[in-house]
């Protein structure tokens, strides 16, 4: 299943993902590798740099017993530099993997990739649009700290206009009945 937006997951799917993450968190303390994804391969297609997200996906795949490959600067280190489209890139790289994780500087680019791909695509951040996997990490932390996601009171500060992580998190928290307080930097208010 592709995850381009946090809206691609129902609330019950989000809770199930967080429950499984808690189980993995416990299991990985005693077994550093869980062979759940043996013979599966992830390809990370990053059009812009991101150390934490890029290497987090790689490490997660390794710890789940799968294989990984990827490119961190597709803009200059692939045929994109010669004008290759997202559609052509997706069609090429999906021949090498079972799932693609994609990061791109333009809003909606992962949605475009999903239209041309035949396998699941995970959005690791697209422009100022969304970053649903970071939202899942944030929800995991909130649930661990508060024991629930229901009815939390959360303050979101800083660049609320361009912050894709804030956009996904806002959508998700509202679905769980959160009261949100926004404290943007000047001129950096949350878009309508």
CA atoms within 13 A on the CB side of 108: 0
Question: Rounded to 5, what percent of the chain is helix, strand, coil?
Answer: 50, 20, 30
Tally the residues of the chain: 192
Catalytic position from the list 103, 129, 143, 164: 103
Q: Tell me the sheet residues that pair with 158.
A: 184
53 is catalytic: yes
Q: Is 62 a catalytic residue?
A: no
103: annotated active-site residue: yes
Helix or strand (DSSP H, E) at 99: strand 99-104
Q: Is 38 a catalytic residue?
A: no
List Cβ<8 Å contacts ≥24 apart for 59-63: 61/37, 62/33, 63/28, 63/32, 63/33, 63/34
Residue tagged active-site, from 53, 133, 135, 170: 53
Catalytic choice (1, 29, 52, 153): 52
Catalytic residue among 129, 131, 143, 164: 131
The catalytic residue among 38, 82, 92, 161 is: 82
Of all helices (H) and strands (E), which one includes residue 101?
strand 99-104
The set of catalytic residues is 52-53, 82, 103, 131
């Amino acid at each position: 299943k592709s995850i381009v937006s946090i809206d691609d997951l129902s609330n019950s799917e989000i809770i199930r993902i967080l429950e499984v993450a808690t189980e993995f968190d416990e299991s990985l303390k005693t077994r550093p590798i869980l062979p759940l994804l043996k013979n599966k391969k992830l390809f990370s297609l990053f059009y812009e740099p991101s150390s934490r997200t890029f290497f987090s996906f790689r490490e997660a795949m390794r710890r789940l017993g799968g294989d990984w490959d990827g490119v961190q600067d597709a803009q200059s280190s692939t045929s994109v530099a010669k004008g290759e489209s997202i559609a052509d890139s997706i069609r090429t790289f999906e021949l090498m993997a079972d799932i693609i994780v994609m990061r791109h500087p333009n809003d909606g680019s992962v949605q475009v990739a999903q239209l041309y791909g035949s396998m699941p695509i995970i959005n690791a951040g697209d422009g100022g649009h969304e970053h649903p996997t970071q939202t899942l990490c944030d929800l995991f932390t909130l649930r661990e700290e508060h024991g629930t996601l229901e009815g939390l009171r959360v303050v979101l500060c800083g660049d609320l206009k361009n912050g894709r992580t804030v956009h996904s998190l806002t959508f998700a928290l509202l679905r769980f009945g959160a009261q949100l307080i926004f404290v943007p930097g000047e001129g950096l208010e949350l878009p309508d």
